[in-house]
Amino acid sequence: MADASPSLAQLRAEIDEIDDALLTLLERRIAIGRRVAAAKGDASGPFLRPGREAQILRRLAARLGGSDLPVPVMERVWREILAANLARQVEPVTVVWAPAGAEALVDLAHDRGGVSTRVETVTGPAAALAAVAEGRATLAVLPTPELTAWRWWPTLLVDSPAKPRIVARLPLFGDLGPGAVAGVGVACQAPDPSGDDVTLWAVPGDLPEAVDRATGADGAALSLLAVDGWPDAGDLPAGAIMIGAYARTHSY
């Protein structure tokens, strides 16, 4: 009885056919990305859509289920696609403040931006925030605010025409192992809702539910709250200031 199983040559031919189809689809997706950029019209941005990106990646991760394709591999591929689309609108630059003990933030920035993004390190949080405020960077990556060893979030309260805000959390997927450090992305634009988000508010007073506490410029106590969803400022204590929001981290 003849062996009906495909030969190695046949399997390789099938792989080549799939690769050709994938390339055609990728070219089509990038072309649509150019049309999206044209439809936006306003060349001043905002260019970053971290909430929309989170929606895309969550939907794809949910589809994988018991697939042989791991979620981190899928995310790596799509991050490159998303960054390539962004590069059609602006030259992506990410600056990173990675203090001692948080050096892994540089890798997180590279993972998020892919090969289309230039990643530069800076010596402090003020330099990172100035880079986005002055338009020299599209995104700044810093340690997540609840890591109190590197308390920098009160600098977001400075009254300025260009107000950096937290717009993303890195990484989007996965549980961080021991010693790992999460980061946030900061940009000069309003946060982009994903449908499952955490908002960050600086509120007057010393509140027990705060994830961190600091002293304001006037010497008064400030609390940092991480609130589920997008509450209205009227639902929070008087004087609350939203300093950002990000798509909630998911585990798969």
| Per-residue pLDDT at 17 | 97
Lowest mean per-residue pLDDT among 128-142, 181-195, 202-216, 226-240 = 226-240
Pairing of strands 93-96, 241-247: unpaired
Q: What rounded mean pLDDT belongs to the chain?
A: 89
| Per-residue pLDDT at 233 | 66
Q: Pick 40 or 196 by higher pLDDT.
A: 196
* CB contact at 8 A, 201 and 228: no
Distances from the Cα of 54 to the Cα of 12, 87, 240, angstroms: 34, 18, 26
pLDDT of residue 5 exceeding 80:
no
Q: Which helix H or strand E contains 223, and what residues bound it? A: strand 221-228
pLDDT of residue 21 exceeding 60:
yes
- 73-121 residue pLDDT tens: 999 999 999 999 888 888 999 999 999 999 999 999 999 999 999 999 9
pLDDT of residue 44 exceeding 70:
no
Q: For the residues 32-38, what does the mean pLDDT come to?
A: 76
Angle between helices 8-40 and 71-86 (to 10 degrees): 40
Judged by DSSP in three states, 244 sits in strand
| Per-residue pLDDT at 177 | 66
- 130-176 residue pLDDT tens: 999 999 999 999 999 999 999 999 999 876 667 899 999 999 987 66
User: Domain boundaries in the chain?
Assistant: 46-247
Tokens of 90: 């602006």
Specify whether the backbone of 108 is left (phi greater than 0), alpha (psi in -120 to 50) or beta: alpha
Pairing of strands 93-96, 118-121: parallel
pLDDT of residue 1 exceeding 60:
no
pLDDT of residue 16 exceeding 90:
yes
